[in-house]
Amino acid sequence: MNNQHRIVSSESEELILVDRDDNEIGYASKADAHDGDGILHRAFSLFLFNEAGELLLQQRAPSKRLWGGYWSNSCCSHPRRGESLSVATSRRLLDELNFDTELEYVYRFCYEADFGSAGSENELCHVFLGRAANNVQPNESEISGIRYIAADDLAKALEQHPDSYTPWFKQEWRELNRNYAEQLSSYCAV
């Protein structure tokens, strides 16, 4: 199996449970952390931009348990038990997009989002900015499509088709534009 079809996550991997201040309080399987209303766990979201300042979006594979087929930010996942955010973000970039890059931490926040009987997100999410590689090769077991989009076009797309995008992505993008525009402007024209 080549890199573009590797299975890189499972419902049994152990995620890090945290309190609202991001203190580790235990571990749970990915399945348990997302069942029902979910259990608060550590996560991360990466926003990667090309040299033209366009954001790399990914369309989640339809096989994903939560929000399969929806468009989202460049990469998002969870550190596993015993993994730092730095190690987890590098691992996941390689797993999903087949490259690694330097990341700039921006902020963290808690959110919950329900996806009906399939489960929920209940995450303390760390948000990072970075540059996308020139030759992105998505792992098709995780990502069904990618595209680059300018900030103005993204604003229109989110207004016209809000139900096509993941809830965390919409919330993070609003927050980045509202409260972190200076950091964001070093990657894209906002």
Q: Which residues does the annotation mark as catalytic?
A: 76, 123
Amino acid identity for residue 85 in this structure: L
Query: Is 101 within 8 Å of 108 (Cβ atoms)?
Result: no
* Tokens 């989202």 -> residue: 72
Q: How far apart are CA 186 and CA 177, in angstroms?
A: 12
Question: Which of 124, 119, 121, 123 lies closest to 35, judged by CA?
Answer: 119
Query: Is 124 within 8 Å of 109 (Cβ atoms)?
Result: yes
Q: How far apart are CA 70 and CA 65, in angstroms?
A: 11
Q: How far apart are CA 40 and CA 28, in angstroms?
A: 10
Q: How far apart are CA 67 and CA 60, in angstroms?
A: 7
Q: How far apart are CA 170 and CA 163, in angstroms?
A: 10
